Amino acid sequence: MTSGHPMFSLPDLQRAADLVHAHLPASPQIAWPLLQRRTGAEVWVKHENHLPTGAFKVRGGVVFAERQSRENPGCGLISATRGNHGQSLAWAGSRFGLPVTIVVPFGNSAEKNAAMQALGATLIEHGSDFEEAREEAHRRAASEGLLFVPSFGSDLVMGVATYALELFQSVPDLDAVYVPIGLGSGICGTIMARDLLGLATRVIGVQSTGADCYARSFAAGHVVAVNRADTKADGIAVRQPDPDALRIILGGAERIVTVEDQQIAAAIGAYWTDTHNLIEGAGAAPLAALIQDAGAMHGKRVAVIASGGNIDLSLFRSWVG
């Protein structure tokens, strides 16, 4: 399957990788024998949790902020997030001289809030969930003359696609790759990198059963919003699909699978025991899906995207312990 008209070319993606690598190390991809024993597949983990912000999104933040620093120097950025997108913008904004304001819902992760502030972001709490925080960020962008940065956009997708480029160039002949879906930049970047490289690797999206808007939309062939995001995996707790992301996913993903929170918790535990990596819920969802698909994937060469490791200690203890 191919994703149709790409947002960028392979030379564009390579230039983005060069830019990202000027500021960030490439993250490792490691085949873990205990995960192979657990699943029956040759499992390669793409360790985006090893990046300086602990998650993949900083790649897109670098590409986005670098362009803005050239085209709109000194502009103020604002966005809404549960954490990783905000850390990405704060980290990249500080590198390129762009002040960053982040709106989070009340009750957001205290540790992620502290990390965003430590990286230089101005933090505002508003609303009961991500959607209400996003609405407030849009209001402030209009009233304060700030540039709203969505979680999904061409520069962001091209930036995060550099992890897929690293993976595909380092691990040939992957049968499948499992990617978590929040708003969709990670899976879209993976699809585009695969297509630009002319590979046959199957791309499988992963969502929580309690926040399955993309799974429902994929089955229906059009945007289906849900009125809940009932999962402890905050990186994939999304109610409303992005139409542009869905179009790419419909054209390029083989399927979208859903996993229960208890399966995600078990996968977090598996990462800890089998690799001694601490992985957040969204980042562990792909491994949970692979474990669920173990029979079909037996003997295959499979990658799972460990998209981030930013999980609160209290959540880790209560969810996994």
Report in angstroms the alpha-carbon separations of 33 from 40, 44, 178, 186, 295: 10, 10, 18, 26, 17
Report in angstroms the alpha-carbon separations of 221 from 97, 184, 226, 236: 41, 16, 15, 20
Average pLDDT per block of 10 residues along the chain, 321 residues long = 67 98 97 98 98 96 97 95 90 97 92 93 93 94 96 93 98 98 95 98 97 96 90 86 96 98 97 97 97 97 97 86 71
Residue 117 tokens, joined: 């502030």
CA contacts within 13 A on the Cβ side of 110: 3
| pLDDT value, residue 1 | 43
Per the CB < 8 A criterion, the answer to whether 69 and 97 are in contact is yes
Residue 230, C-beta contacts closer than 8 angstroms, at least 6 positions apart: 208, 210, 211
Hey, what long-range contacts does 226-232 have (CB within 8 A, 24 or more apart)? 229/129, 229/130, 231/261, 231/264, 231/281, 232/261, 232/264, 232/265, 232/281, 232/315, 232/319
- Tokens 């500080």 identify what position? 94
The pLDDT tens digits for 37-95 are 999 999 999 999 999 999 999 999 999 999 999 999 989 999 998 878 999 999 999 99
Per the CB < 8 A criterion, the answer to whether 205 and 256 are in contact is yes
| pLDDT value, residue 227 | 83
Residue 179 tokens, joined: 């990617």
User: What are the residues facing 180 on neighbouring strands?
Assistant: 206
What DSSP element (H or E) covers 287? helix 281-292
Per the CB < 8 A criterion, the answer to whether 176 and 302 are in contact is yes
Q: How far apart (Å, rounded) are the C-alpha atoms in residues 230 and 212?
A: 9
Closest CA to 280 of 8, 42, 53: 53
Using DSSP's 3-state secondary structure scheme, residue 30 falls into strand
| pLDDT value, residue 18 | 98
Amino acid at 77: L
Residue 259, C-beta contacts closer than 8 angstroms, at least 6 positions apart: 206, 207, 208, 209, 267, 285, 288, 289, 292
Domains for the chain: give ranges and CATH numbers: 10-52+154-320 (3.40.50.1100), 58-148 (3.40.50.1100)
| pLDDT value, residue 253 | 98
